[in-house]
Amino acid sequence: MNQTENTHGASLTDIGTEKQKYDAILVVGFGGPEKKEDVLPFLENVTRGRDIPRERLLEVAEHYDHCGGSSPINGQMRGLIDALLPELRRHAISLPIYWGNRNWHPLLADTLHEMAAAGIKKALGVVLAAYSSYSSCRQYREDIERAQDEVGPGAPTIDKTRVFYNHPEFISANSDRIREALAQVPLDDRSAVRLTFTAHSIPQAMARSSSYETQLQETCRLVAADLGIPASRWALVYQSRSGRPQDPWLEPDILDHLRYLKDRGTTAVIVHPIGFLSDHMEVLYDLDVEAMHLRKELGLQMVRSRTVGTHRGFVRMLRELIC
């Protein structure tokens, strides 16, 4: 068990198989703007300290206009919590669920203040990140610790559930989403369809210091095996890269991969966002707008499968991690 203590003695712990007693569950998310006027402040918050040019932020802000002017991620989080509550109750878990985000309201510090005021001393943090990397694990730890610092000595201790890239229910839920997409491919094309998994690109330097790529490859392999798809018919590619153009990030990019498939005679492709848990902005814009626009230019048949979202198997998995 690895433990990191902050300056107030509140701790953040990775939970293995030990049974622990908690006062509450804290679901930790990324957060997103729910109205147009919050988009730019949200992006400024996400990129603070990274020297991202304002022109780039304005460009990304325009992406939201293609998807209703706001992010659906907070609404999706509410839906997931609504699905998780009855699943927990069915297994005699009656703990209250709190929700805090890293980057937008409800912010973690505000939620921890609320928890402290309610007398919560120890909570289990359900961090919605399937894979290990700085941005998906350690950065969440740091944000929780920063929120604990802000609350002070009364801040609750937060233990953290493990990453779940290889959990059987996670594998099964992703397989089901791909089966749904496969059903949309014309029958004559199904035997030749190519499966493309996508995940968020990260800097290569960050990837070298984590198990991100290895875990993603393992998840893809397990899902493909569950579906009976041979290695020759699937690939893992990346999307949503940012940062300076001169800095190397994980590749290939989804758009380059679609061109590659077309050049090699592929006629139909299923794109599955294996690296994402909900259909939020990076899925909706990068895949449903940009990639879909390119596939029309290329004359490819393309179906984008849904993320696990509130799939019953995914909700069961969260309950198992909590238990």
Q: Please state, in angstroms and rounded to a whole number, the distance separating the CA atoms of residues 14 and 37.
A: 37
Map tokens 């460009």 to a residue: 59
Residue 20 lies inside a defined structural domain of this protein: yes
Count of CB atoms within 10 A of residue 49's CB? 5
Q: Please state, in angstroms and rounded to a whole number, the distance separating the CA atoms of residues 293 and 272.
A: 17
Residue-level pLDDT at 20? 56
Domain shared by 299 and 201, yes or no: yes
Where residue 115 sits, what CATH number does that domain have?
3.40.50
CB 137 within 8 A of CB 212: no
Domain shared by 113 and 248, yes or no: no
Residue-level pLDDT at 62? 95
Map tokens 């694990």 to a residue: 137
Domain shared by 119 and 81, yes or no: yes
Residue 119 lies inside a defined structural domain of this protein: yes
Give the range of the structural domain holding residue 205, as residue numbers without chain letter: 168-309
Residue 316 lies inside a defined structural domain of this protein: no
Domain shared by 150 and 263, yes or no: no
CB 279 within 8 A of CB 76: yes
Q: Please state, in angstroms and rounded to a whole number, the distance separating the CA atoms of residues 290 and 119.
A: 47
Residue 95 lies inside a defined structural domain of this protein: yes
Domain shared by 223 and 91, yes or no: no
Residue 317 lies inside a defined structural domain of this protein: no
Residue 314 lies inside a defined structural domain of this protein: no
Residue 271 lies inside a defined structural domain of this protein: yes
Residue-level pLDDT at 136? 82
For the chain (323 residues), the mean pLDDT of every run of 10, in chain order, is 31 44 96 97 90 87 93 97 98 97 97 98 97 89 97 97 97 99 94 97 95 98 98 98 88 99 97 98 97 98 98 99 94
